[in-house]
Amino acid sequence: MNAEFHELEKGLAAVTEYDAGIYAAEKAKLDELARSLHSVAQKLDRLGAEHATHLRATKGAFNVFTALLKPEDEVRLHSRWLAYLLDPQGTHDCGGMFLRLFLQVISEGVQPHEDAADPVCPSGLELADAEHSQITLENRTGGDQPDIVIKITEWGWLTIENKIRAGEQPRQLARYIGWAKERGGQYLVLYLTLDGKASGTAEGKPYFRISYQTHILKWLDKCLRETYQHVNINQALQQYRNVVYHLTGGLPLENEYMEKTLELLEDNPAIIRHMKDINNAIDQLRARWWAGFVTALDVSLQKTGRRVKMGDKKELLKNEKYPHTALSYDGDSFKAAGLQLTLERGDALGLYVGLTPPRKSDYSGPLKQQGDLFHEETRKRLDKDLCTFSCWRGLLKLPFPDTSDDATLASLVGPGAKDKITKMAEETAGVVLNYINTAESVWASLPSQRTEQ
């Protein structure tokens, strides 16, 4: 018995020693990574400052696209610009050239929806009639269809669903695949993202993945070579390519800043080995920051004079298009009219507050007419534009940072992060309270304050 007990002790000691060895090895890896990250971060900060100085001196930061819209605006910037270029009847006066070059890129290989599958080269596209094809943008029709639809003469349908930062709607790609199939003939459904990730809403239906990082940049390079003699369009293409580089983190390799960054990575390979974990951690850090802000905002709203209460906070944290939650407050004067004060998260985690009927179908007839008057007068009194997107109208954008931008996120975390969140939540709650007071004053001044439901 003593011998068996002794053997058991030896076994437990061996397991403990093994676990300690694993812990020591993992700790050594983390220590190595921490040293590398600290060293590289300091050097990158210096390089970034030098690069920013160079851009100011050469006016290299000028970009007409980002001067008018945010780089990640997938609807008004990317889908609209891509559709404009791909349209053979577009005012760029290049006919079907851009579409022909795009079809060439797609014909050279696209990734099927399965990760393990080899790239596929769709047949017939490289010979398709680009000059007489027709293109439709989703917001021109108002229907439930992909962002960009191309009817290619004597070939079939090519559809593009474009995703930059926004999440997917329930069954979104499955519905669009069904839509394309119903058109009849050949069809190709392309799911366009920054890095070619898979859709989570296709429900096993076939589609193909393309990316800005690979396919769009390759296509833009082809377009630039074809238009080098046409200064206006060529410069616009160069500026748009820079926007894509910014979004995908892929500055041109000939850029001096990128060359020095590559040298730093070569000297610190530990970072490359752990890059996947680092990127996952950044995504979790972004989600954690957002969850912390929503909680702090809920507390700040309840401290206002109207004791504003947020509905289900989890609704705002969902990874879908335009998640939203209801707001209630003391003396709510809008319920009698069938309106709801709502907090909504827009593209790139922008935050909005506004009034909406409980159902989209309710916004018609007298309520719509009254709503139009309300939003116009509210806009004047607030002296701020009211945004319109999704199925709602007149949403006021709140002061909220774009945490999808890594540099912005870096400025919000670290030492003092809790104080920053609290201050931002208090400022945001103040804007919400001002909106409520202004909206009530405007509503009371309208000819009719109640609408029969």
Output the pLDDT for position 122.
Answer: 81
Q: What is the DSSP string of 234-282?
A: HHHHHHHHHHHHHHHT---TTSHHHHHHHHHHHH-HHHHHTHHHHHHHH
User: Which residues, 6+ apart, have CB-to-CB distance to 187 below 8 Å?
Assistant: 156, 157, 158, 159, 180, 181
Q: Is 397 helix (H, G, I), strand (E, B) or coil?
A: strand
Q: Which of 128-132, 207-211, 262-266 has the lowest mean pLDDT?
A: 262-266
Question: Is the CB of residue 333 less than 8 Å from the CB of residue 444?
Answer: yes
Average pLDDT over residues 49-78: 82
Residue 113 CA to residue 190 CA, distance in Å, equals 10
Q: For the segment 134-163, what is each residue's pLDDT rounded down to a tens digit?
A: 888 765 544 567 899 999 988 889 999 999
Displacement of CA 254 from its chain's centroid (Å)? 28
Q: Kindly state the DSSP code that residue 347 receives in the 8-state scheme.
A: G
Output the pLDDT for position 346.
Answer: 67
Q: Is the pLDDT of residue 131 over 60?
A: yes
Calculate what percentage of the chain has a pLDDT beyond 70: 77
Q: How confident is the model at residue 190 (pLDDT cuts 50, 70, 90)?
A: very high
As a whole number, the mean pLDDT across the chain is 80
Output the pLDDT for position 209.
Answer: 93
Q: What is the DSSP string of 93-121?
A: S-TTHHHHHHHHHHHT-BEESSTTSPPB-
Output the pLDDT for position 238.
Answer: 93
Q: For the segment 328-358, what is each residue's pLDDT rounded down to a tens digit?
A: 888 777 777 677 788 887 655 578 888 776 5
Residue 226 CA to residue 101 CA, distance in Å, equals 9
Q: Which amino acid is at 137?
A: L
Whether pTM exceeds 0.85: no
Q: For the segment 404-445, what is each residue's pLDDT rounded down to a tens digit?
A: 777 788 888 888 888 999 998 999 899 888 888 888 888 888
Average pLDDT over residues 254-278: 75
Q: How confident is the model at residue 296 (pLDDT cuts 50, 70, 90)?
A: very high
Question: Is the CB of residue 252 less than 8 Å from the CB of residue 258?
Answer: yes
| CB burial of residue 197 (10 Å; 0-12, 13-18, 19+) | exposed
- The overall longest dimension of the chain from CA atoms, in Å, is 96
Angle at 278 between CA 273 and CA 284, to 5 degrees: 155
